[in-house]
Amino acid sequence: MTRQNGILLASILLLMAATGVTSPLQVAAQNQKELNKKPPHYSVHNLGALGGTSSSANGINNKGWVSGSANIPGDTFQHGFLWTEEDGMKDLGTLGGPNSLVNWPVKDGRGLIVGVSETSMTDPLGENFCFFGNHLTCLGFLWQDGAMTPLPTLGGNNSFASGINNRGQAVGIAENTTPDPCLTAPQVLDWKPVIWGPEKGEITELPLLPGDSTGAAIAINDKGQIAGASGICKSPSLANAVHAVLWDGGSVIDLGSLGGTTHNAATAINGQGRVVGFSNLPGDTNSHAFLWTKNRGMKDLGTLTGDVFSAAFGINNKDQVVGLSCDVNGNCRGFLWKDGVMTDLNTLIPPGSGLFLFYAGDINSRGEIVGEAFEQSTGAAPAFVATPCEQDHAGQQGCEEGAESSSITNQNPGVSLSVNARKSLQRAALGRFASKVMKP
């Protein structure tokens, strides 16, 4: 290029910039940026159950190991599970009672899993801590290499473990010995947010916001930052949460709200300390999923088109968020939120999969998503793993050319969940922390 031509080109580019006209190079860059924002299509795999018809995947680590809860034969009881591509679904067992749960995202590379299990002991106070109706005591557990170890309480009869990090620190709730008249029967004893470990048998109570009497620690990252809720003084349910909170460096921080005064809770945290959850809007009639960052505070992620409620349950280190979005009748759809856009997962999977993805529980750093689906041909509600058809997953079954969905993004496919799927979502996916919109 001659010097004159170079000057001419520079002058044209300057003129285009001054007049708001975009150059071809800028157009190409912008098109590539928009292409990067668009979610890929996914292959989807039915994980089955443990002999029953329902299961829910609630966590996936960066090795692709999936944890959750699944019905055993007869669909009367459920057990926590670990699924790997090599070994399939493994039953984690119980602490002697009929049920165990792994209800919240577990992001860990050491094969550690936490959850809650009924024991064979009747609760001496008649409490129904695990909401199974059996009135058995429930204890949080740590599972590793085939062994389930109970976690201690604060002197009470029950505890619940919900998350763990790569340092072996687990978080959850535990009862103390103090009866509290503000609790809803049959709950008698106060329960507090706690952290266990990393030493065996170690338990530490976490501080609460001023004026709050109970709380729940739900998720922890490798820095030891903990997400959860406080101000819950009825029964151990996040439907009664008042404040979404973050414990950082020994202090508790109120994350604020989207305008409501109740039903505010943080459910997951990534390695950068960014937090997701759900928060009531002004008027306290509906909740929306949120993303909280230290610099920007709480951001409303909205809902899918036509829906009124949403909640976020997983976030990876790329700030990709997953959860569910529901209409006024409680029909829910799993979503992926990426770069400011919420997308219905059902528009990103092959139309012939036979699965409707109504809940997304977690996403790892490779973009792999797990949750629960509705199988329309059988009425079953199995756990699923959805794998993005990108370069990192070349050759993945279901990622062949032409396999992508032809659906319109965010268009409601119009699937009405079965009673079985609704009950499974309430019991297995959201468990004892079930949202107030989950109606069987």
In whole angstroms, what is the distance from residue 140 CA to residue 129 CA?
A: 11
Q: Can you give the residue range of the structural domain that contains 251?
A: 40-433
Q: Which of 8-22, 299-313, 365-379, 395-409 has the lowest mean pLDDT?
A: 8-22
pLDDT score recorded for residue 9: 30
pTM equals 0.86
CATH code of residue 52:
2.120.10.30
Domain-embedded: residue 11: no
Determine the average pLDDT of the residues in 110-132: 93
Considering only residues 336 and 199, tell me which one the structure prediction assigns the higher pLDDT: 336
Q: How many CA atoms does the CB half-sphere of 315 hold within 13 Å?
A: 29
- Please provide the average confidence, as pLDDT, over all residues in the chain: 84
In a domain, 30, yes or no: no
Residue 4 lies in a domain: no
Q: Is residue 8 within a helix (H) or strand (E), and if so which, with residue range?
A: helix 3-18
Question: How many folded domains does the chain comprise?
Answer: 1
**How large is the average pLDDT for residues 234-250?**
86
Q: Is residue 1 part of a domain?
A: no
More reliable by pLDDT, 373 or 396: 373
Q: What is the pLDDT of residue 201?
A: 79
For residue 305, the number of C-alpha atoms closer than 13 Å in the C-beta half-sphere is 12
Q: How confident is the model at residue 1 (pLDDT cuts 50, 70, 90)?
A: very low
Q: Are 170 and 151 in contact (CB under 8 A)?
A: yes
- Residue 69 scores a pLDDT above 60: yes
Q: Which of 140, 145, 187, 196 is CA-nearest to residue 168?
A: 196
Interior angle at CA 86, CA 83 and CA 87, nearest 5: 55
- Number of Cβ within a 10 Å radius of residue 345: 27
CA distances from 193 to 58, 136, 175, 216, 437 (A): 21, 21, 9, 4, 25
- Least confident window among 164-168, 324-328, 387-391: 387-391
Tell me whether residue 3 is in a domain: no
Q: List, for residues 178-219, the tens digit of each pLDDT value.
A: 998 888 899 999 999 999 988 777 999 999 999 998 999 999
Closest CA to 298 of 271, 328, 323, 275: 275
Asked whether residue 40 carries a pLDDT value surpassing 90, the answer given is no
Q: How high is the pLDDT of residue 275? A: 98
**Cis peptide preceding 150, ω within 30 of 0:** no
pLDDT of residue 414: 52
Amino acid at 288: H
Going from the C-alpha of 29 to that of each of 24, 32, 110, 339, the distances in angstroms are: 9, 5, 41, 17
> How many other β-carbons are positioned within 10 Å of the β-carbon of residue 14?
10
Residue 35, phi then psi, degrees to nearest 5: -65, -40
DSSP codes of every residue in 362-430: EE-TT--EEEEEEETTT--B-EEEEEE-SGGGTT-TT-STT-S--SPTT----PPPPHHHHHHIIIIIS
Assigned domain for 19 exists: no
| 18 inside domain | no
Find out whether the peptide bond into 198 is cis, omega within 30 degrees of 0.
yes
* Cβ contacts of 298 within 8 Å, gap of 6 or more: 244, 255, 256, 257, 258, 279, 290, 291, 292
The neighbour count for residue 283, using CB atoms within 10 Å, is 9
Please indicate, yes or no, if residue 309 is contained in any of the structural domains.
yes
